[in-house]
Amino acid sequence: MDADNDAPIHPMKRNKQRVLLLSSRGVTQRMRHLMSDLEALLPHAKKESKLDSKSQLHLLPELADLNNCNNALYFEARRHEDLYMWAAKTPNGPSIKLHVQNVHTMDELKMTGNCLKGSRGILSFDKVFDDTEWGKLTKEVFTHIFGVPPMARRAKPFIDHVLTFSILDSKIWFRNFQILEKDPQQPNAPPKTSLVEIGPRFVLTPIRVFEGAFGGATVYSNPEFITPTAVRTLIRQRKGDKYGKRKD
Amino acid sequence: EDAIPKRKIEVDNTDALRRIRETIQLNPSLPWTETLVISFPQTIEVDVDDDLNRELAFYKQALYSADRARTLAASQSLPFTRPADYFAEMLKSDAHMERIRSRLLDERAGIKKSE
């Protein structure tokens, strides 16, 4: 036996995370595909069947517990067009509610990148996350949910992609890139890192941060957030005004 | 008509946010290899509607992270590069990649035709 190998006497501390991934009823095909993309990207995620009721979110922590998960990622579809994402730590919280926009799934984006299924991705956060307190909390929660722990059952031993989270226009933009170390055209050239996007893409607008898991006191609310329904109402109202003026 | 627009109540309880973060925080003594988190030291300041520059900014962030992660992985002896003879299931299936390839070829043929 190697003398070097029995060095760790005290057990190593590990990052143990499991994520429950599920959606509400009424998700469209695109939302469903986004979920399956995320499931493929996150080998430590456990997919559950759709949650029946939109008003009984308190069932989710129990469900996560039944599946031995300590995180939950819940997609809530409203009116078959608006998608909300809840990122929560179960059972004690916090939970973050975000509005998902500009969804492009891996399937519809014709991107040439590819990576090992279940390889651990690098998580990249830009500096704005550290500027605000809610940003720091979001970073922490996303680290738990989107970071693949090293001991995940289906994780592969190499690192070949980067998940980037960037705050721009007070929204969180998500991208996924493959890391290429060699130019496929010139395999003998000195290695130089380049990236190819894999997909999916989406933009998250934070809405609220709750103290508990899927409930509890609001500790942050985004003052700039306007519900998509309000936006649509406004557009329709304007259209109506135009017609009214023309009629007069 | 003259209804006063409803003011949204803004909540930003930084003390509570900090307290919550401290309760869920991973042990800071965990080695980097457990989380693989890289913080990009710059803020991204581009026009949101300028697709090209925006994507370029994201690309730069990812590139910085990849390079930084490689040096960190090397220092902690974490395997990083996939050897050429390691084969396993990929994220996108072969059928999917073939579809992308044929589409690229189609586009290229179309460009050639129009020239």
The string of DSSP codes covering B15-47 is HHHHHHHHHHPPPTTS-GGGT-EEE-SS-----
Asked if the Cβ–Cβ distance from A179 to B79 is below 8 Å, we say: no
pLDDT tens digits along A127-177 = 999 999 999 999 999 999 999 988 888 888 888 899 999 998 889 999 999
Nearest CA in chain A to B36: A122
Half-sphere exposure of A176 (CA within 13 A, CB side): 30
Asked if the Cβ–Cβ distance from B16 to A93 is below 8 Å, we say: no
Residue A6 is predicted with a pLDDT of 47
Residue A76 is predicted with a pLDDT of 93
DSSP state at residue A52: S
Best mutation target, B7, B18, B24, to test chain A (most A CBs within 10 A): B24
Neighbouring-strand partners of residue B90? A116
Better-scored residue on pLDDT, A34 or A199: A34
Asked if the Cβ–Cβ distance from B37 to A219 is below 8 Å, we say: no
Best mutation target, A4, A89, A90, A124, to test chain B (most B CBs within 10 A): A124
CA angle A9, A15, A17 (to 5 degrees): 140
Residue B2 is predicted with a pLDDT of 59
The answer, yes or no, to whether residue A67 has pLDDT greater than 90, is yes
3-state secondary structure of B98: helix
The answer, yes or no, to whether residue B50 has pLDDT greater than 80, is yes
d(CA B17, CA A129): 13
B12 close contact with A: CB closer than 8 A: yes
Half-sphere exposure of A181 (CA within 13 A, CB side): 15
- What the block records as the tokens of A233 is 């109402």
Residue B77 is predicted with a pLDDT of 85
The answer, yes or no, to whether residue A41 has pLDDT greater than 80, is yes
Asked if the Cβ–Cβ distance from A89 to B40 is below 8 Å, we say: no
Nearest CA in chain A to B44: A168
DSSP state at residue B91: S
Nearest CA in chain B to A95: B20
Q: Looking up tokens 């925006």, which residue turns up? A: B54
Residue A7 is predicted with a pLDDT of 46
The answer, yes or no, to whether residue B89 has pLDDT greater than 80, is yes
Closest listed residue to residue B60, CA positions, set A230, A101, A164, A223 = A164
The answer, yes or no, to whether residue A196 has pLDDT greater than 50, is yes
Chain A hits for B38, Cβ within 8 Å: 122-125
Residue A183 is predicted with a pLDDT of 66
CA angle B103, B108, B113 (to 5 degrees): 125
A211 close contact with B: CB closer than 8 A: yes
Q: What percent of chain A has pLDDT over 70?
A: 92
Residues near A166 by Cβ (< 8 Å), separated by ≥ 6?
A: A125, A126, A128, A172, A173, A175, B40, B44, B57, B58, B61
Chain A hits for B104, Cβ within 8 Å: 110, 112
pTM over 0.90: no
Residue B78 is predicted with a pLDDT of 86
Residues near A202 by Cβ (< 8 Å), separated by ≥ 6?
A: A34, A100, A101, A102, A103, A104, A174
Q: How confident is the model at residue A242 (pLDDT cuts 50, 70, 90)?
A: confident
A73: exposed, middle or buried (Cβ count in 10 Å: 0-12, 13-18, 19+): buried
Phi, psi of A206 (to 5 degrees): -65, 140
Residue A68 is predicted with a pLDDT of 92
- Cα A187 to Cα A41, A177, A210, B71, distances in angstroms: 28, 20, 51, 22
3-state secondary structure of A44: coil
Asked if the Cβ–Cβ distance from B36 to A121 is below 8 Å, we say: yes
Phi, psi of B84 (to 5 degrees): -65, -20
Mean pLDDT, range B67-86, rounded to an integer: 87
Residue A208 is predicted with a pLDDT of 92
Best mutation target, A14, A161, A219, to test chain B (most B CBs within 10 A): A219
Better-scored residue on pLDDT, A247 or A236: A236
Nearest CA in chain A to B49: A169
A96 close contact with B: CB closer than 8 A: no
d(CA B106, CA B88): 29
What rounded mean pLDDT belongs to chain A? 87
d(CA B102, CA A219): 50
Asked if the Cβ–Cβ distance from A129 to B12 is below 8 Å, we say: no
Residue A232 is predicted with a pLDDT of 92
Residues near B15 by Cβ (< 8 Å), separated by ≥ 6?
A: none
Query: Are the CB atoms for A174 and A39 separated by under 8 Å?
Result: no
The answer, yes or no, to whether residue A84 has pLDDT greater than 60, is yes
Query: Are the CB atoms for A113 and A198 separated by under 8 Å?
Result: yes
Chain B hits for A89, Cβ within 8 Å: 24
Closest listed residue to residue B3, CA positions, set A237, A248, A242 = A237
Phi, psi of B109 (to 5 degrees): -65, -40
